[in-house]
Structure 1
Amino acid sequence: MDVLAIMLSVVLIFLAVLHFYWSIFGIKDPEAVLPKNVKSNTVKTPGKLMAVAVGVILLGFAFVYINKVIGYVSHPWLQYISIGIAFVFIVRAFGDFKYVGFFKTAKNSKFSILDTKYYSPLCLLMGVLILLLEAFG
């Protein structure tokens, strides 16, 4: 199960670095990574501070799974935090029923196609793998 924890950490660190990159250099193709507003057909753009915040949160998530391998901090509440992280990813996969997730209604953009093919399945896979790690690890 250590390999699964390391794989989850690597993916989370990659996503965190990607968010830090976006906060520093900007998003090169915003239509691919940000949903479009249904009414105005404009891309919803969060600020640089929000990208940094998401990156920090993802690094925190990665620490939880790196900690499973090295055992730096041992508290029983880490298991509950890990299960909470799994539910965050599963909820993200199902989405807000408007812009993101499998059940989104806004399906008229490049983001919605990529979200259906890659982003939501990745979130669902990560959520399920985290639950498996907690159940059998």
Structure 2
Amino acid sequence: MDVLAILISIILIILAILHFFWALFGIKNPETVVPTEIGSNHVKTPNKIMAVLVGLILLGFAFVFINRIIDYVDFEWLQYVSIGIGIIFIIRAFGDFKYVGFFKTAKNSKFSALDTRYYSPLCLLMGALILILELMD
């Protein structure tokens, strides 16, 4: 199970680095990573502060799983935090029923195609792996 925790941590760290990169250097094609409003071709410009915040949250998630391996913090409730993280990823995979997730109604953009093909399946996989990791322990 340590291999699974390492894999989850690596994916979360890569996603965090990607968000930090976007905050520092901007997004070259925002239409591929940000939803387009329904009935419009206008893509909202992502906020750099929010990109850093998401990156920090993803790093925090990664350290929860790194803790399973090196045990630098000994709190029993971290297992429940980990289960919560898994549930967050599963909820993201199902989405808000408008712009993100498998059941989105806005299917008019490059983002929606990429979300259906890559982003939502990754979130579902991450959520499932996290729940498997925590519930099998």
Residue of structure 2 equivalent to 1:49: 49
Moved over 4 A (4+): none
Question: What amino acid is aligned across from residue 17 of structure 1 in structure 2?
Answer: I
Residue of structure 2 equivalent to 1:4: 4
Q: Deviations over 1:25-55 (max 9, x none)?
A: 0001111101000133311222100000000
Residue of structure 2 equivalent to 1:92: 92
Q: Deviations over 1:89-119 (max 9, x none)?
A: 0000000000000000000111000000000
Residues 1:83 and 2:83 are matched in the alignment:
yes
Structure 1, unpaired ranges of 5+: none
TM-score normalised by L of structure 2: 0.98
Residue of structure 2 equivalent to 1:34: 34
TM-score normalised by L of structure 1: 0.98
Cα distance in structure 1, aligned partners of 2:71 and 2:32 = 38
Residue of structure 2 equivalent to 1:25: 25
Residue of structure 2 equivalent to 1:113: 113
Structure 2, unpaired ranges of 5+: none
Residues 1:102 and 2:102 are matched in the alignment:
yes
Cα distance in structure 2, aligned partners of 1:75 and 1:29 = 41
Identity %: 71
Cα distance in structure 1, aligned partners of 2:45 and 2:104 = 18
Number of corresponding residues? 137
Cα distance in structure 1, aligned partners of 2:75 and 2:113 = 41
Question: What amino acid is aligned across from residue 18 of structure 1 in structure 2?
Answer: L
Question: What amino acid is aligned across from residue 136 of structure 1 in structure 2?
Answer: M
Residue of structure 2 equivalent to 1:67: 67
Residues 1:16 and 2:28 are matched in the alignment:
no
